[in-house]
């Protein structure tokens, strides 16, 4: 296991996941889970915020498969989800694919082959929410600008999105903590996660 991703060993292990048939099958299963979870009704909170469920499957895939395979998963998942669900009536826009990929990469950098700690889960969710606010508002401003980007449109959209994401953050964090801790024993038993923090190269723990 690693305390941080700033290690050649970390990226070597992450790259090897591309040759692991079980991890490839697991990533495919998580794509299917994302499609299924997209059909599960969201839970309204207040202030217009609502909890959707796709982030659960994306975070689990990032946790198990790492940043390299995770990026491929995110790309495939976003494209397939759009065409399988019809995109909710919206046209395809590659910016949202980029947001999905960046979110999965963020989960992986905090969770892959790392000790499962609440602060890691919280920071990963916080950063993905910030990405959703900043980039989501940017994509909306571009799509609604008719060729002319408006900073005022971006700010209005980002302000509203930030309030909603702040409301959702504690709920999403709790859901992730409960889910990852519940899955950890079974995934370790299956060999999908490191069993221990046993002796290893000096940049591991």
- Domain with residue 40: its CATH number is 1.10.1760.20
For residue 76, give its domain range: 8-122+171-189
- pLDDT score recorded for residue 198: 38
- pLDDT score recorded for residue 150: 77
- Over residues 70-85, the mean pLDDT reads 93
Instruction: Pick 156 or 60 by higher pLDDT.
Output: 60
| Alpha-carbon gap, residue 120 to 164, rounded angstroms | 22
Q: What's the domain count of the chain?
A: 1
Q: Within a domain: residue 134?
A: no
- pLDDT score recorded for residue 151: 83
- The dihedrals phi and psi of 50, each to the nearest 5 degrees, come to -150, 145
Q: Within a domain: residue 63?
A: yes
- Over residues 103-114, the mean pLDDT reads 98
Q: Within a domain: residue 51?
A: yes
| pLDDT band, very low/low/confident/very high, at 89 (cuts 50, 70, 90) | low
Q: Within a domain: residue 102?
A: yes
Q: Within a domain: residue 202?
A: no
Q: Within a domain: residue 197?
A: no
Write b or e for each residue in 99-138: b if 16 or more Cβ atoms lie within 10 A of its Cβ, otherwise e.
bbbbbbbbbbbbbbbbeeeeebbbebbbbbbebbbebbbb
């Amino acid at each position: 296991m690693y305390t941080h991703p700033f290690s050649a060993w970390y990226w070597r292990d992450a790259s090897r996941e591309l040759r692991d048939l079980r991890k490839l099958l697991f990533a495919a299963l998580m794509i299917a889970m994302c499609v299924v979870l997209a059909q599960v009704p969201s839970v309204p909170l207040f202030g217009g915020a609502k909890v959707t469920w796709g982030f659960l499957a994306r975070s689990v895939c990032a946790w198990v498969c790492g940043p390299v395979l995770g990026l491929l998963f995110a790309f495939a998942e976003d494209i397939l989800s759009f065409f399988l669900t019809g995109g909710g009536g919206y046209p395809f826009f590659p910016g949202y694919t980029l947001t999905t990929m960046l979110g999965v990469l963020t989960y992986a950098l905090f969770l892959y082959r790392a000790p499962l700690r609440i602060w890691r889960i919280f920071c990963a969710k916080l950063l993905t929410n910030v990405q959703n606010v900043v980039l989501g508002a940017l994509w909306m401003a571009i799509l609604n600008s008719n060729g002319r980007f408006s900073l005022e449109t971006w700010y209005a959209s980002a302000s509203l999105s930030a309030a909603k994401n702040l409301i959702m953050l504690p709920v999403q964090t709790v859901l992730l903590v409960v889910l990852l801790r519940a899955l950890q024993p079974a995934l370790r038993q299956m060999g999908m996660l490191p069993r221990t923090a046993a002796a290893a190269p000096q940049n591991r723990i």
